[in-house]
Amino acid sequence: MARKHHADDIFSVRFDDGDLITRIRYFKKRQWYVASKASEKISSQNTRTPIWKRAIDIITTGGAVILLLPVFLLVALLIRLDSKGPVFYKSKRVGSGYKIFDLYKFRTMRTDADQLIRKMAALSMYNKSTEPVNQIESNGLCDECLVGNQCKSLLFHDGKEICEKLYHFQKDQKAAFMKFQNDPRITRFGQFLRNSSLDELPQLINILKGDMSLVGNRPLPLYEAEKMTTDDKILRFAGPAGLTGLWQVTKRGKGKADMSEEERTQLDITYAKEFSFKMDMQIILKTFPALLQSENV
């Protein structure tokens, strides 16, 4: 059953502490192994940025940085006045060809935001809720176990006993993307920056460096990217990484309240396969009216 559901590991009720430490170290190394295998999966794809696309990036972003320099300085000052911490936020992201780079943004969150994300994972609006809560939380046992009064495949996870079937059900319900409504980690001025998309401005530096393009699939944080390495999702990394993209303008243009993880992924794959000069121009033109929408993506 564990093999069928692609379980990461199986814990018995009784285990040695030394074995646990060894397993933890193994899974930390496995994260980088997953990244290397993901790169191999898309190595056959042409992930190089076309000359026309790179030329547009340099010309447009170079001019934008010069024109927006006063805005950069004003935003930086207001961030320092609003909350303690640095002006810029830097995080590891996975872009085209599964390349890992540092992405720059204006800081919109509290300085301890990264430490809160795991605690808030259950509040993600992309988490699935297709089963009743009482079925998911039945003392660590699934319906079949409750009928038999004993679990044949009992695991030990996060200090609790849990049925193997229920463990994998809960794992499947966790979405690859994380997004929160009314996120308490965001500062007062940070909320304005996000709603106006001004927090994205420092990514113009990433574009000039060649880390990403003006138009493309959004580069993902490591914890999201490692869940996108299956054969049906990995192709989204074959396309250029970008500041704005197909799913952003599609979502806002239709006025949807939210977009599922599957819809986002499919639009990313569509762009990776079909992007062209014409498509990029259409996305850029749709991005400006999209910025006027109140929803934050």
Strand partners, 221: 93
Residue 110: which domain range?
A: 42-127+174-290
Residue 168 lies in a domain: no
Q: Let me know if residue 136 belongs to a domain.
A: no
Mention every residue, 6+ apart, whose C-beta is less than 8 A from residue 296.
194, 195
pTM listed for this prediction: 0.62
> Which residues make beta-bridge pairs with 161?
156
Return the higher-pLDDT residue of 82 and 127.
82
* 11: in domain: no
Q: Structurally, how many domains does the chain consist of?
A: 1
Q: How far apart are CA 240 and CA 238, in angstroms?
A: 7
Residue 105 confidence (pLDDT) above 70: yes
Q: Which of 127-141, 173-187, 206-220 has the highest mean pLDDT?
A: 206-220
Domain membership flag for residue 146: no
Does 18 map to a domain? no
Whether residue 263 is contained in a domain is answered as: yes
pLDDT tens-digit readout, 124-138? 555 555 444 444 444
In a domain, 282, yes or no: yes
Q: Is the pLDDT at 279 greater than 70, yes or no?
A: yes
**Is 10 inside a domain boundary?**
no
Residue 189 has pLDDT above 50, yes or no: yes
pLDDT in tens, 144-178: 555 455 555 555 555 556 666 666 666 655 555 55
